Amino acid sequence: MRRRALISLTDKSDVVPFARGLAERDFELISTGGTARVLREAGLEVRDVADITGFPEMMNGRVKTLHPSVHGGLLGLRDNSEHRAAMAEHDIAPIDVVAVNLYAFAATVAKPDVTEAEAIENIDIGGPSMIRSAAKNHRSVWVVTDPSDYGRVLEGLDGESGDAQLGLTLRRELAAKAYTTTAAYDATISRWFSARVNDGALAEHPVFDCGPGSELRYGENPNQAARFHREPGAREASVTTATQLSGKALSYNNIMDADAALELVKEFDAPSVAVIKHTNPCGCGTADTLAEAFARAWSGDPQSAFGGILAFNRPVSAELAAAIAKPEHFLEIVIAPSFEEAAVDTLKTGAKWGKNVRLLAVGELGARDANEVAVRKVTGGWLVQQRDLGFDHEQREVVSARQPTEQEWADLEFAWRASKHVKSNAIVLAAKGALVGVGAGQMSRVDSVFMAGHKAGERTRGAVLASDAFFPFRDSIDEAARLGVTAVIQPGGSIRDKESIAAADEHGIALVHTGARHFKH
């Protein structure tokens, strides 16, 4: 009996050479709809699935492969006498190769004007069913879900006659990939439904729809293997959706830092620039022009900025690129909505480091996706939470005797937004739309104040201070006063708030409570 291969594809890349290779190895080809048409147009002899099942494709293609003649041919155990008897009784022939990929659900729901009916019609039923059936019986069935595996399958078919174990090893690998494919596909659908049902609320049973991912050189350190998994259909401007215009491949740490940089500049409506080192901002500026915002950001901590990541919330012009591309501005990544063509050339050639700098264009930043979740892996489990978006839930209250000036208010709002992106305990010092000092990740909050002041130097005089969480003691206010800080914004809520308020009044500092904290661990 001739062996049989069932081919049913949405992505028909390279299917003709693969199908021809199967036919040359004396496989009978079975196919459906558009795939059958493509194969026939290439001169290949193909049987329709309807010939196998005895039923036509119906209900606009919703029902075509869901039949015992298909799934019995996939699931029947070749070495089980009862299975063989059942197959013979019901005229079910084995199917030895299944090449299936799925309806493009992720691409469909990524369309801005997609309707619910269109999305639902692109939920594949028969495809995942065939993949799972074939993968379950991988001892006998080759399941192919990725066109890049076509050549390996043909080689495996040639080699298995001489080494049965070799064929089984490859079929097991293909089965694992198949289940990863269907799991990611179902997760994409689940997330789409959950977003419509939960409308930004945290789902009780979150799923993550990441495909097989791409291999990175290594993780945080060379002894750690790493991969980058992208969620299908991601729409928010991000490192995941970015187009890399030049430079070396991104590393694990590059991706982490670039994400942190972009998330910071998303906080501001005015032209803004962030400089990130090890996921913490060492510079941030906002101004009427992007060039001035860059100058303010770079002045924050030029020493730490060396080898850092630079993010913009506006397109980068050729003129601005010339200001960036200087030998003393060594950068790993520049990330922005877009770059003028001349800006790309300038950044690549304006300084020696330009040949390696990664330029990432993410498109217009737009609105942030409230249905995205923040995920952290811990040993044996996952922590899942909503993203820390917006400040609408907060209530500004001046609790000191002195009111902030207009300039202090502007700087307090700027510093407060920046502090959300600094590792706790976080302290940010800012003046005139520029971050001038950062204290990050200290175990003591007063130590963070000290570190921020150390970085800022004389720029602390007249600066404002933002703290991501409340002050447990008045010592941070006292240290801020010593530095010359004139206004402070913090959540409040400590049992010793009165002591901090009294300290602010003693020093003539304007103190604002927000009623909300922004820890970042």
Positions marked active-site: 136, 278
β-bridge mates for residue 354, sequence order:
none
Helix (H, G, I), strand (E, B) or coil at 82: helix
Half-sphere exposure of 213 (CA within 13 A, CB side): 12
- Residues pairing with 276 in the sheet: 281, 309
Rounded distance, CA 467 to CA 418, Å?
A: 10
Beta bridge partners of 438: 428
How far apart (Å, rounded) are the C-alpha atoms in residues 311 and 307?
A: 13
Of the candidates 405, 402, 300, 316, the one whose C-alpha atom is nearest the C-alpha of residue 357 is 316
Residue among 184, 182, 206 nearest 195 (CA) = 206
- The residues facing 361 across adjacent strands are 243, 336
Strands 3-8 and 97-100: parallel
Task: Show the beta-strand stretches assigned E in 77-168.
Answer: 97-100, 142-144
Distance CA(453)–CA(460), nearest Å, equals 6
Rounded CA gap, 433 and 271, in Å?
A: 11
Q: Are 138 and 76 in contact (CB under 8 A)?
A: no
